[in-house]
Structure 1
Amino acid sequence: MKYPTIVLFALAALVLPTLATNDYLWGTIGDNDYKLAKDTVSKAFFVGVVQKKTYVFKQSNNLDALTITAIKVTDKKKSNGATVVLSSGGPGSKGATLKFTSERGCGISDLVEIWGR
């Protein structure tokens, strides 16, 4: 009885990380929020190299700039997705800087959506 359970947990521990994606959400998307930006961040893979990319969101007119309420990053890769760090700005501010880092030998392919009001 113990062995099938152990085998099941071991199999789940091997399979689930490969199915997991690196999706992120900072803040909350409200009913009255507008989509301020929708951009694809991508960088091709190179064998043995960790790829890095910085995404900067700025609004052109500071006087009429909306306040960011949420940033949603959706990983478009099924496995080996990039990690994302919100290095400055974000919810409650007018701009944001995101830093993407791929796994070694993998590329970056993410969808960034920024919401505000």
Structure 2
Amino acid sequence: MAYWNSLFPSRKPAGHAGAKAALAANLREPGRMAALRKMVSLSKTDTESILGSGRVPALVVMGTRDPDFPDAAAEASWLGEVLGTEPLIVEGAGHYPHLEMPERVAPALMDFLARLYAS
């Protein structure tokens, strides 16, 4: 889990150690690691066919410094197109922008939810 720390490039969130322990415990549950391996092995074509099979409201939230993607903003834009939604790209955040920069994500999430419930 050394990779874990690289997911928070700007600052570690409150409860960082607890979240790491919870994730490690989750991945030890039967079938979880296999599911994770399957998910990360999917191609963009595979992912697009899965995501394109249904439509639900979505808010794509990605940090620009997510180490999983060479160009996280482009990835977020692609996901937004596939899902038919605008992405929220959080400048400077890593893989978990909602934990790393909740002050930037929470207002956007609340606005997204308000728009859903207003319609």
- Is TM (by shorter chain) over 0.5? no
TM-score band, normalised by the shorter chain?
Answer: under 0.3
More strand by share: 1
Mark the structure with the bigger radius of gyration.
1
TM-score by length of 2: 0.22
TM-score by length of 1: 0.22
Q: Which has the higher helix share?
A: 2
